[in-house]
A and B are shown apart, each in its own frame.
Chain A
């Protein structure tokens, strides 16, 4: 086995393991623990992006997700001073419904994975560096880019309005 293969299995196992600990941590019910494991999941995903030669996206993933979004999450958790979620009984109906939904999605997914014709592995020559991505972003995808900037402005104004003490 060569290095990229070993690294892929390592990163994939760590991503899935930390993802499980985000959703169902047997040792702690504290939202802060979940948030910390989500940070770890995002970091390992950035590792997978590097293996896929998407270097710019790996950097953006770490800067935006692990840097900004998760800090916002932790900030809100600590602001609200949420203590460990008290153990309430999970309703049987929601448990069965949830497992059924996930089983259904998993079955559809597995069926399509098994049926698909996979391209021959090998010789993808694409590099996701800043230069090719920037060329695409500012030429072919200029309009969506501008719309996204307007969306960010709208979100910013909305958040300021929502965090006022009196909602009118």
Chain B
């Protein structure tokens, strides 16, 4: 049995659902961030698989851009978390509810 496009897409979908589960259920800001990374990686896997099975390299170029943007996003996000932690002494989402009505 040959491994086709659908196998990769299913793996990517499972990974995306796991990342979403982490974002919704975990309460630590850093672990939520890791869930976001997982979702980005799932999207990357789908893009690479589509690129290979459609015989076009454009998908891989796009993944290259996604990785770059993800790196920038992580740097800015972690700086924000550090600044927040200095002020509030907590990285727990339920302690950061001052915008809540």
> A residues within 8 Å of B by Cβ?
1, 4-5, 8, 12, 15-16, 19-20, 22-24, 31, 34-35, 38, 41-42, 45, 48-49, 51-54, 56-57, 60-61, 64-65, 68-69, 72-73, 76-77, 79-80, 82, 85, 88, 90, 94-95, 97-98, 101-102, 105-106, 109, 113, 116, 118-119, 121-122, 124-126, 128, 132-133, 136-137, 141, 144, 148, 151-152, 154-156, 158-159, 162-163, 165, 167
Contacts and interface: CB of A to CB of B under 8 A. Distances in A.
Nearest to B24: A98
Contact of B7 (A12, A125, A128): A12
B38 A76 contact: no
A124 B54 CA distance: 7
A136 B61 contact: yes
Given A22-B38, A23-B21, A72-B75, A148 B1 contact: no
Contacts of A94: 24-25
Contact of A65 (B11, B61, B67, B80): B67
Contact of A133 (B25, B61, B78, B94): B61
A140 to B, nearest CB: 8
B2 A5 contact: yes
A114 to B, nearest CB: 10
Contacts of A15: 11, 15
Interface residues of B, number: 72
B51 to A, nearest CB: 7
B7 to A, nearest CB: 7
B30 A76 contact: yes
Nearest to A161: B79
Nearest to A147: B65
Contacts of B92: 85, 88
A64 B69 contact: no
A22 to B, nearest CB: 6
Interface string B9-44: 111011111111110111110110111011001001
